[in-house]
């Protein structure tokens, strides 16, 4: 049994914390367990799912590597087409428009993501909830008007939220809303799902290794690029300018093999209303922006798990969030509390992912 002790390191950071995942690889020298002669295709940054995505595919043949990279992007794009609530023609937008009136038939993929979402809702005691769309919309509208939503507006939006009001028919693959005005928002889970699908497509295509990064949520598997032994992911040090990034400049460097990592937090995306900052992550029970943690990084086996748990823990806060993570066999967490005296809190097994060098 691993110790349940939580390691705490205090750090003082006197500026706005900007933490992002930076992907890079280094050679470990000499002891490679991976086949020599492998090649990798690197897409560099491409705009997908409203953010930058990057795929690296490793294979024994250049053409296979490139085909796998493209197969990965095709998956990311397919998920975006179906699950974006920004796209009027997406399957999700159609469900949001009609879900109260009729039971809507959906694709296997969308049904699976909704089922998984309900699983995370139950696990997190309702902290994670994809039916939070009405409140998310309220805050988006508030940003445009420059006015904070009223208590009445928040209370009315809360009526339209609740995963238990989502009726999923597994046999018929239909979805129905038990309350009028309910809106599903998959912003907290779809990226993770898409990354897992991309990895699957790359494996099927013959890649012996690879990495998929969508907006800082990352999963990697198998052999890293030529001359390297591990996949390393750097957590950006907020005191270092973006242009000055590189070895020695990271807050933490994690080594990953067949693992995924996702970060949620209010430092990256938030809404400014009337001079006040609101997190884009909503606490469903209060209808307010989550502000217990500044940043949540989850390492897990799959990207959907890391993505959904990172959003869940952002809502739950350090104490309940860590309780959730300690109960998950495969997940570990690195949390950063709100400033000005930031604290980094790690779950009991997080140390094994820390890379000594850098
Ligand atoms: P992430 O960056 O993965 O934490 O996802 C944040 C996004 O998830 C937000 O921009 C919303 O689209 C959506 N969201 C907000 N609050 C919640 C919540 N309590 N549960 C699930 N998704 C949420
Ligand atoms: Mg998430």
Ligand 1 pocket, residues with Cβ under 6 angstroms: 128-130, 132, 136, 185, 187-188, 264, 280-282, 284, 307, 310-311, 314-315
Out of 8-17, 221-230, 281-290, 340-349, give the one with best mean pLDDT.
281-290
Give the count of domains, the chain. Answer: 1
**Average pLDDT of the residues in 325-340:** 92
Q: How far, in Å, CA of 233 to CA of 255, rounded?
A: 6
Q: Which of 30-39, 67-76, 113-122 has the lowest mean pLDDT?
A: 30-39
Query: What pLDDT is recorded for position 271?
Result: 57
Query: What pLDDT is recorded for position 267?
Result: 56
Q: Does 21 have pLDDT greater than 50? A: no
Query: What pLDDT is recorded for position 253?
Result: 86
Query: Which residue in 296, 273, 47 sits closest to 149, CA to CA?
Result: 273
With 0-12 / 13-18 / 19 or more C-beta atoms within 10 angstroms meaning exposed / middle / buried, residue 6 is: middle
8-state DSSP, 6:
P
Task: Tell which one of 20, 185, 320 to mutate to probe ligand 1, the residue whose CB is within 8 A of the most ligand atoms.
Answer: 185
228 — pLDDT class (breaks 50, 70, 90): confident
In a domain? residue 141? yes
Tokens of 335: 């949390």
Identify the domain containing residue 159 by its residue range.
91-177
DSSP string, 96-154: HHHTTTSPEE--HHHHHHHHHHHHHHHHTTTSS-TTBHHHHHHHHHHHHHTSPPPHHHH
In a domain? residue 173? yes
Q: Which of 34-48, 153-167, 198-212 has the lowest mean pLDDT?
A: 34-48
Q: Which atom of ligand 1 is nearest to the CA of 192?
A: 3
What pLDDT digit, counting tens, does each position of 293-318 carry? 988 999 999 999 999 999 999 999 99
Nearest CA to ligand 1 atom 8: 188
- Does residue 30 or residue 197 have the better pLDDT? 197
Q: Does 9 have pLDDT greater than 80? A: no
What pLDDT digit, counting tens, does each position of 132-156 carry? 999 999 988 887 888 889 999 999 9
Indicate the length of the chain as a whole number.
358
Alpha helices in the chain (DSSP H): 62-83, 91-98, 108-123, 133-145, 151-159, 190-204, 303-326
Which residue reads 């998310």 in tokens? 136
Tokens of 323: 């309780």
Give residues whose Cβ lies within 5 Å of ion ligand 2: 188, 307, 310-311
Query: What pLDDT is recorded for position 23?
Result: 47
In a domain? residue 151? yes
Query: What pLDDT is recorded for position 348?
Result: 95
Contacts with 155 (C-beta within 8 Å, 6 or more apart), sequence order: 287
Q: Does 237 have pLDDT greater than 50? A: yes
In a domain? residue 161? yes
**Average pLDDT of the residues in 324-331:** 97
Q: Does 29 have pLDDT greater than 50? A: no
- How far CA 309 is from CA of 55, 127, 136, 333, in Å, comes to 23, 10, 19, 9
Mean pLDDT, the chain, rounded, equals 86
What pLDDT digit, counting tens, does each position of 243-298 carry? 565 666 677 888 998 999 999 986 554 555 566 667 889 999 999 999 899 889 99
**Are 201 and 72 a contacting pair, CB within 8 Å?**
yes
Phi, psi of 80 (to 5 degrees): -60, -45
CATH number for the domain harbouring residue 143: 1.10.3980.10
In a domain? residue 106? yes
Query: What pLDDT is recorded for position 14?
Result: 26
Query: Which residue in 193, 191, 139 sits closest to 161, CA to CA?
Result: 139
Query: What pLDDT is recorded for position 357?
Result: 53
Q: Which atom of ligand 1 is nearest to the CA of 314?
A: 4
31 — pLDDT class (breaks 50, 70, 90): low
Q: How far, in Å, CA of 312 to CA of 293, rounded?
A: 11
Which residue reads 């005296």 in tokens? 341
DSSP string, 57-102: EEESSHHHHHHHHHHHHHHHHHHHHHH-SS-TTSHHHHHHHHTTTS
**Are 104 and 139 a contacting pair, CB within 8 Å?**
no
82 — pLDDT class (breaks 50, 70, 90): very high
In a domain? residue 305? no
**Are 215 and 53 a contacting pair, CB within 8 Å?**
yes
In a domain? residue 194? no
Q: Which of 2-16, 28-42, 207-221 has the lowest mean pLDDT?
A: 2-16
Ligand 1: distance of its center to the CA of 187 in Å? Answer: 5
In a domain? residue 261? no
Alpha helices in 241-355 (DSSP H): 303-326
8 — pLDDT class (breaks 50, 70, 90): very low
Which residue reads 């280094």 in tokens? 26
Phi, psi of 211 (to 5 degrees): -145, 135
Ligand 1: distance of its center to the CA of 351 in Å? Answer: 27
């Amino acid at each position: 049994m691993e110790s349940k002790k939580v390691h705490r390191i205090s750090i003082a950071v006197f500026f706005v914390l900007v933490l992002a995942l930076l992907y890079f690889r280094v050679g470990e020298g000499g002891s490679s367990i991976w086949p020599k002669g492998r090649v990798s295709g690197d897409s560099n940054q491409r705009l997908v799912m409203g953010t930058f995505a990057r795929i690296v595919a490793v294979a024994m043949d250049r053409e296979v590597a490139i085909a796998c990279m493209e197969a990965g992007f095709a998956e990311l794009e397919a998920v975006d087409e179906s699950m974006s609530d920004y796209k009027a023609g997406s399957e999700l937008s159609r469900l949001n428009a009609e879900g109260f009136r009729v039971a809507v038939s959906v694709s296997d993929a969308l049904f699976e993501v909704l089922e998984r979402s309900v699983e995370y809702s139950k696990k997190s005691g309702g902290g994670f909830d994809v039916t939070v769309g009405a409140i998310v919309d309220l805050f988006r509208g508030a940003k445009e008007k420059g006015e904070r939503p009223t208590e009445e507006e928040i209370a009315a939006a809360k009526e339209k939220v609740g995963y238990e009001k989502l009726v999923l028919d597994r046999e018929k693959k239909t979805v129905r809303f038990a309350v009028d005005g309910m809106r599903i928002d998959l912003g907290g889970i779809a990226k993770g799902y898409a990354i897992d699908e991309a990895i699957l497509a790359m494996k099927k295509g013959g890649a012996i290794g690879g990495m998929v990064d969508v907006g800082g949520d990352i999963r990697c598997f198998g052999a890293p690029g030529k001359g390297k032994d591990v996949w390393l992911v750097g957590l950006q040090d907020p005191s270092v300018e973006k242009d000055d990034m590189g070895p020695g400049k990271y807050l933490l460097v994690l080594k990953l093999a067949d693992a995924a990592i996702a970060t949620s937090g209010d430092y990256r995306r938030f809404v400014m209303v009337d001079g006040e900052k609101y997190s884009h992550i909503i606490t469903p029970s209060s209808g307010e922006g989550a502000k217990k943690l500044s940043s949540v990084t989850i390492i897990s086996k799959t990207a959907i798990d890391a993505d959904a748990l990172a959003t869940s823990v952002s809502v739950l806060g350090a104490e309940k969030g860590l309780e959730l993570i300690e109960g998950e066999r495969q997940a570990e967490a690195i949390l950063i509390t709100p400033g000005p005296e930031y604290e980094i809190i790690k779950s009991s097994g997080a140390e094994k992912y820390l890379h000594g060098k850098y």
